[in-house]
Structure 1
């Protein structure tokens, strides 16, 4: 006999765990979270930079990220336990030729209600003395931003979902969706069939083939993202260590990791990659040294720091680099939360709330979700962003992913 659930959530990363939590919290009935691996956060989430920041160059993403910030700040009260959130503050630096663009983006974010402001070189040196800054350079500063622990965040959501009577099943890959007419009626897993009124896909790149089997084509391409851990100099030790930074001058993003390491990734390190080849988890040989050198250019105190570890993981990337959220035209009983394009972690609390509200209440109020319509590309409604130029070398481009 088939198992039964009111809602099945496929994908045990931070987005799927958040959705399961919010569904259970809102009383969606019997909620089951399925993860293909033996542990949660085994895919993109576990290798995430886990930045918590709101600086985006389009309003929909900025609003979604801003709606998530209070969840990280008030995690113990809202979810329980700790997500490892450290409120270091965040700065976005750009090349001088993009100063006017930065001003425009900060003005847009302030209209959304985001706590952000422009800082000049003098104030930036005060906020973060370790940064190499030249006169005339500008940055956007977010005092409430920082970083969190991606695994602790995912496990925290899942544990809270279970306290609200949700079921979490690990090592249970979903093989296919069940469909009757135009309605998705459940999933087939390696352990059997689970009938459900609603299925939510939050399984990243793996959703593409699953959806193709029922005639739904989603515009997602697989990418590989790389990052490395570097020894932090004694002058910057401690949990808050230094600001969380995206530096377009040098093509990096960076934030503290623990008390004595710093995580760094490159703007150009997200590249198309066939995930079935195993390449998604492979780190390029030259990547760690290149990342450390770029970090030292931005924060000279790292000039003599050693590389400690490196990792790579899969991303599911859409044409406009924005996620696909909500129902699909012509298919009942199905909700999507895929195509995160490397930016899902910081938005996950708000995305989970939005999808749960769609399922339980029929509309989302936690944040504006309409721009993320999965069918927007067939309607000419791609989300428009005006990206910053990226320095650091000829291989960089305006299309680089930094999340």
Structure 2
């Protein structure tokens, strides 16, 4: 089941040419298209399914700097500035509220992890602060948990995934971008090695530049071109409650639950300590690159081997411009919510804040994230394929940093001499 998103009236026409083709209708690709359209650059965005149909509408809506690795914090800081004006920019309230995010720690070891993170970002002058158990109670009253302490960043915030990406798409269309849904890009068209267009299920579009913002699907697209992008899937299961009175406007992440207030008055809730990890062929091919991430994370990952594996290996791994691609066989990745994980989330949350015993669950869903070995995205050109730029592998952070990532991607596509920020930490070559 997928959450209901703000509808977008896309285009049914099929252009013969443009300047930039964006592959993928998630928040990063949509923002890049908006930026390009605002700059007067012809752009066509092609989405194999529907705009924001996958992780861009299924995530938790957190917009945070806290807990990010130091190289990624400047992107999050830039995103904060862009989120602050997003509602005005796109013409509707996308739910952005700078209400703060808090992480809780049950043990001294967990507190030490937060202290170590604070040291790594000390030079970045963030407003993050360590909290005592009493300070947690003051900010989030009514709790029954026994906490060693926590960490809190008042300048972090939230927005609504079911509104924001669609609103960005509408704004891009209003500025002149062409967005076509249900149109899978099969591969690139090249001349003398350089990109000159894209081959889609509906025909070719000539262009000067291509931006691949395909999220989970980027690995398959690039592998067909002989390019290795290491990403593996993880699934987050989510609960939406009916409107209710809650303990705080702050988004709170405990070791095994999280909750945050929604624009509609309800709460988005997850089991923060558990993610689904369905085994697929890629785990056998590149899983060794992720061993360092598994240390101490055995309870976090709920590994399973079942129908996901069979569905994955049934998809072609090589195809041509005239062949039906995996992107036409699976238009929208729609994993089922894990009922056991969601039940754990509610048990853990109500034990810590009994007020949530009154919560009425109105909807559940799941989303599949694409995780890189260092949890940083890939933004930049592809060596050996002039004209192709990547903006993918956001590892569950794409919504929060989406406005900045999309703008940086637009800067890179147009070879801007003054990009939004230094893209060096995000180069694909770091995995070589």
TM-score relative to the length of structure 1: 0.84
Q: Which residue number in structure 2 is paired with residue 193 of structure 1?
A: 204
| C-alpha separation in 2, matches of 1:115 and 1:197 | 43
| C-alpha separation in 1, matches of 2:390 and 2:403 | 15
Q: Which residue number in structure 1 is paired with residue 268 of structure 2?
A: 263
Q: Deviations 1:56-87 (Å, cap 9, x if unpaired)? A: 24112222112101222222344433222133
Task: State which drifts further: 52-61 or 94-103.
Answer: 94-103
Q: Which residue number in structure 1 is paired with residue 397 of structure 2?
A: 343
Q: Which residue number in structure 2 is paired with residue 14 of structure 1?
A: 27
| C-alpha separation in 2, matches of 1:91 and 1:2 | 47
SS of equivalent to 1:353? helix
Asked whether the 8 Å contact 2:211–2:413 carries over to 1, the reply is no
Q: Which residue number in structure 1 is paired with residue 124 of structure 2?
A: 112
Match of 1:288 among 329, 342, 353: 342
Match of 2:253 among 246, 259, 281: 246
Q: Which residue number in structure 1 is paired with residue 51 of structure 2?
A: 40
Task: Tell me if 1:373 matches 2:427.
Answer: yes
Q: Deviations 1:259-289 (Å, cap 9, x if unpaired)? A: 4422112232242355646885112232321
Match of 2:161 among 123, 139, 150: 150
Q: Which residue number in structure 2 is paired with residue 140 of structure 1?
A: 151
Distance 1:24 1:120, change over 3 A: same
SS of equivalent to 2:355? helix
| C-alpha separation in 2, matches of 1:187 and 1:208 | 17
Q: Deviations 1:148-177 (Å, cap 9, x if unpaired)? A: 111321122222222332111122121222
SS of equivalent to 2:339? coil
Q: Which residue number in structure 2 is paired with residue 390 of structure 1?
A: none
Q: Which residue number in structure 2 is paired with residue 332 of structure 1?
A: 386
Distance 1:59 1:329, change over 3 A: same
| C-alpha separation in 2, matches of 1:36 and 1:192 | 14
Q: Which residue number in structure 2 is paired with residue 23 of structure 1?
A: 36
SS of equivalent to 1:303? helix
| C-alpha separation in 1, matches of 2:29 and 2:130 | 35
Structure 2: unaligned runs, 5 residues or longer? 1-13, 281-307, 313-329
Q: Residues 292-371 of structure 1 correspond to what in structure 2 (within 5 A)? A: 292-363=346-417, 365-371=419-425
Asked whether the 8 Å contact 1:223–1:273 carries over to 2, the reply is no
Match of 1:202 among 213, 219, 227: 213
Q: Which residue number in structure 1 is paired with residue 295 of structure 2?
A: none
- Aligned-residue RMSD, C-alpha: 2.4
SS of equivalent to 1:194? strand
Q: Deviations 1:192-240 (Å, cap 9, x if unpaired)? A: 111111100111121222212221111112222211124565455xxxx
| C-alpha separation in 2, matches of 1:85 and 1:163 | 21
Q: Deviations 1:15-60 (Å, cap 9, x if unpaired)? A: 1101111222234x211111112x3110111111111111124112
Distance 1:157 1:305, change over 3 A: closer
Q: Offset at 1:344? A: 0.5
Q: Which residue number in structure 1 is paired with residue 177 of structure 2?
A: 166
Task: State which drifts further: 205-214 or 108-117.
Answer: 108-117
The total of aligned residue pairs comes to 369
Structure 1: unaligned runs, 5 residues or longer? 379-403
TM-score relative to the length of structure 2: 0.79
Q: Offset at 1:316? A: 1.2
Q: Offset at 1:107? A: 4.0
Q: Offset at 1:188? A: 1.4
Q: Which residue number in structure 2 is paired with residue 382 of structure 1?
A: none
Asked whether the 8 Å contact 1:53–1:346 carries over to 2, the reply is yes
Task: Tell me if 1:213 matches 2:224.
Answer: yes
SS of equivalent to 2:408? helix
